[in-house]
Amino acid sequence: MDLLDDPTPGSNTPEFTVSEIAGSVKKLVEAELGWVRIKGEVGRVVQARSGHLYFDLKDDRSVLSCMTWKGQIAALGIVPEEGTEVVAEGKMTASGFQSKYALNAQRIAIAGEGALMALLEKRKKALAAEGLFDEARKKPLPYLPEIIGVVTSLQGVVIRDILHRLRDRFPRKVLVWPVAVQGAACAPEVARAIAGFNALTPGGAMPRPDLIIVARGGGSVEDLWGFNEEIVARAAAASDIPLISAVGHETDTTLIDYVADRRAPTPTAAAELAVPVRHELAAWVDGQGARLGQLLSQSLTNRRQRLRDMARALPRKESLLDGPWQRFDRASDKLGPSLIAGVQRRRVHLSEISGPLRPATLARRVAEQRRGLAQSGARLGPALARPVALKRRELDKTDERLAPALARRVAKNRNDFEAQLRRLRPETLIRDNAAKRSQLDQMLARLSKAGNRQIGDWQRKIDALDRLRVTLGYEATLERGFAVVRSGGAVVTSVTGAARAETLELQFADGRIEIGGSAGQATAKAQKPAGPPDEGSLL
């Protein structure tokens, strides 16, 4: 028999499910402990990504879990910090999923002034360690701000005192950002006001202030606690606009006083720090103007006296120019003769240079250069023919030596091959015969190719030299219509030589021709007026 399926007869104890028991416990806890106030020390604090806040309350013997939903955090009053003694108010509830009970905290207050001071000291040390109180990061106040932003409440005498003091000292434009100056809404509103002033655009429809004053009247530690919140201190430290803190009276000190660029003991003193006294400033400006005029007059007097003293030490202006005028007169007297002498020297030098440059002299030099060119051209052909013939003979000799050498090399390789054939067995001969014959054919082909390539290189060099000889020879000149005149095998280079010759031999590009010459004809040709040269003949 299964006891679970068949209970023992006579048992009248009711059975419950786990969910029923959990639900009953939750109803009992919420009914008996509806709204409670619990005092304890804050333990672990966790801000979830969902926005909900979870923390512990503890004493010397027990720990109570607490949670605050995301929408309830703004109404807490203060955000719990680990190690702080607080009084939490809220509803007790139980969770059936894990059999746990907890407090849904909806309001939190510091438990006593001693705890508040301990929390303030803890925050002060943490912010000081970050460097938020350093004097080096504090900005100087503008001497005369155009617009002043005031963060305070519209109710009370604080704003009236500030405006009255500004109007008496130096009227300025004032922008007021109304905020709550105590309670749970104080810290976030003051932080938003400071950030809002910094977010304004300079010169916009709502101008950005040049100075911010955060002000509040005196009160107890609890009343001023909103200005001790970390969010307010960090907003003041992040402000790009210089900020004056005027919270409470002279004996009251909050965290914003340490972070602000300047601290004023009262709101009225903050207005005095913000602007100077207009009448005093005007009197100071007048005094400075009078001093400036006096100093300027004295300086001009001193400079005028110094100028007179220095002028007495200088020579007269007429005496300063006497020496330069004399040097100028002497130079002007020498200028004309010097120019004439220079022109004459250059004229003589020009005559000396131009003397040798006569037309007859130039024509004679041209004729001499032309004869030298013809002689060089006549000698160039035989001179080039000799090395060409020499190279050709060397090529023939090399060809003659190469053929027997190749034949001897082939015969030697063939003999070595036959000797190896005799030493090898028939089956080895049959196996290696094809390989040896292939190697021999490859070697013969390489030798033949190398010989042909060497002979081709020599032939190309000989042809290049021959082309150079032809190009530089006088035969190439004959192709352009010129002719060489000879008499008795000698080259005739003048009209006089042609007139004395009995016969003349004319060499053209395509052959030679002999003509009879006479002194009368030569003379007639020599006496013929000079005209443009005939490109068809050197004569």
By C-alpha distance, which of 100, 97, 103 is closest to 43? Answer: 103
pLDDT score of 222 more than 80? no
For residue 336, being part of any structural domain is answered with: no
123's tokens = 């925050």
Least confident span in 1-5, 60-64, 221-225: 1-5
What's the pLDDT score for residue 139?
Answer: 92
Amino acid identity, residue 344? Q
Query: Using 50, 70 and 90 to split pLDDT, how confident is the model at 270?
Result: very high
Mean pLDDT across the stretch 372-391? 81
- Rounded Cα distance, 139 and 199, in Å: 18
Please give the DSSP secondary-structure letter assigned to residue 91.
E
CA distances from 123 to 44, 184, 243 (A): 17, 18, 21
What's the pLDDT score for residue 518?
Answer: 46
Query: Using 50, 70 and 90 to split pLDDT, how confident is the model at 11?
Result: low
Burial 361-390 (b: 16+ CB within 10 A, else e): eeeeeeeeeeeeebeebeebeeebeeebee
For residue 322, being part of any structural domain is answered with: no
Q: Are residues 122 and 270 in the same domain?
A: yes
Q: Are residues 197 and 299 in the same domain?
A: no
Q: pLDDT, tens digit, for every residue of 472-500?
A: 777 777 777 788 888 877 888 888 888 88
Query: Using 50, 70 and 90 to split pLDDT, how confident is the model at 333?
Result: confident
- Rounded Cα distance, 311 and 487, in Å: 101
What's the pLDDT score for residue 303?
Answer: 92
Whether 394 and 401 have beta carbons less than 8 Å apart is answered as: no
Q: Are residues 265 and 128 in the same domain?
A: yes
Q: Which position has the higher pLDDT, 518 or 398?
A: 398
Alpha helix locations (H) across 170-316? 186-199, 230-237, 255-259, 267-274, 278-313
Q: Are residues 225 and 236 in the same domain?
A: yes
Q: Which residue has the tokens 């972070």?
A: 259
454's tokens = 């060497």
Q: Are residues 122 and 259 in the same domain?
A: yes
Query: Using 50, 70 and 90 to split pLDDT, how confident is the model at 149?
Result: very high
Q: Which of 32-46, 177-191, 416-430 has the highest mean pLDDT?
A: 177-191
- Rounded Cα distance, 194 and 235, in Å: 6
Q: Where among 294, 310, 326 does a domain terminate?
A: 310
* Cβ within 8 Å of residue 475, ≥6 positions away: 381, 509
Helix (H) or strand (E) run with residue 85 in it: strand 85-95
Mean pLDDT across the stretch 450-458? 87
507's tokens = 């060499």
Q: Are residues 394 and 262 in the same domain?
A: no
- pTM across the whole model: 0.42
Per-residue DSSP letters for 354-410? Answer: HSS--HHHHHHHHHHHHHHHHHHHHHHHHHHHHHHHHHHHHHHHHHHHHHHHHHHHH
Q: Where among 266, 287, 310 does a domain terminate?
A: 310
- Region label for 481, one of left (φ > 0), alpha (ψ between -120 and 50) or beta (otherwise): left
Give the torsion through C-alpha atoms of 378, 384, 385, 389, to 10 deg.
Answer: 170
Q: Are residues 65 and 160 in the same domain?
A: no
Q: Are residues 27 and 49 in the same domain?
A: yes
For residue 23, being part of any structural domain is answered with: yes
Q: pLDDT, tens digit, for every residue of 385-396?
A: 888 888 888 888
Mean pLDDT across the stretch 68-87? 82
CA distances from 401 to 237, 391, 398, 447, 465 (A): 107, 15, 5, 14, 24
- Rounded Cα distance, 417 and 420, in Å: 5
CA distances from 435 to 263, 417, 419, 442 (A): 111, 11, 16, 11
pLDDT score of 213 more than 90? yes
Mean pLDDT across the stretch 435-440? 80
User: How are the residues of the chain apportioned to helix, strand and coil, as percentages rounded to the nearest 5?
Assistant: 55, 15, 30
For residue 456, being part of any structural domain is answered with: yes
Question: What is Dmax (Cα atoms) for the chain?
Answer: 181
CATH number for the domain harbouring residue 28: 2.40.50.140
Q: Are residues 27 and 38 in the same domain?
A: yes
Mean pLDDT across the stretch 298-310? 90
With H, G, I as helix, E, B as strand and everything else as coil, classify residue 539.
Answer: coil
What's the pLDDT score for residue 9?
Answer: 55
Q: Which position has the higher pLDDT, 213 or 494?
A: 213
Q: Are residues 187 and 54 in the same domain?
A: no
What's the pLDDT score for residue 238?
Answer: 92
Q: Are residues 191 and 168 in the same domain?
A: yes
Query: Using 50, 70 and 90 to split pLDDT, how confident is the model at 87?
Result: confident
Mean pLDDT across the stretch 402-410? 80
What's the pLDDT score for residue 534?
Answer: 39
Residues present in the chain in total: 539
pLDDT score of 538 more than 60? no
What's the pLDDT score for residue 425?
Answer: 61
For residue 135, being part of any structural domain is answered with: yes
Q: pLDDT, tens digit, for every residue of 183-199?
A: 888 889 999 999 999 99
With H, G, I as helix, E, B as strand and everything else as coil, classify residue 225.
Answer: helix
pLDDT score of 261 more than 90? yes
For residue 126, being part of any structural domain is answered with: yes
Whether 241 and 261 have beta carbons less than 8 Å apart is answered as: no
Query: Using 50, 70 and 90 to split pLDDT, how confident is the model at 250?
Result: confident
Q: Are residues 484 and 418 in the same domain?
A: no
pLDDT score of 345 more than 90? no
By C-alpha distance, which of 92, 111, 110 is closest to 102? Answer: 92
Number of domains comprising the chain: 5
For 294, other C-beta atoms within 10 Å of its C-beta total 10
Query: Using 50, 70 and 90 to split pLDDT, how confident is the model at 537?
Result: very low
Q: Where among 111, 139, 163 does a domain terminate?
A: 111
For residue 536, being part of any structural domain is answered with: yes
Strand 63-68 and strand 53-58: the pairing is antiparallel
Structural domain of residue 512, as residue ranges? 475-539
CATH number for the domain harbouring residue 259: 3.40.50.2300
For residue 359, being part of any structural domain is answered with: no
Mean pLDDT across the stretch 24-29? 77
User: What value does the mean pLDDT of the chain take?
Assistant: 81
pLDDT score of 527 more than 60? no
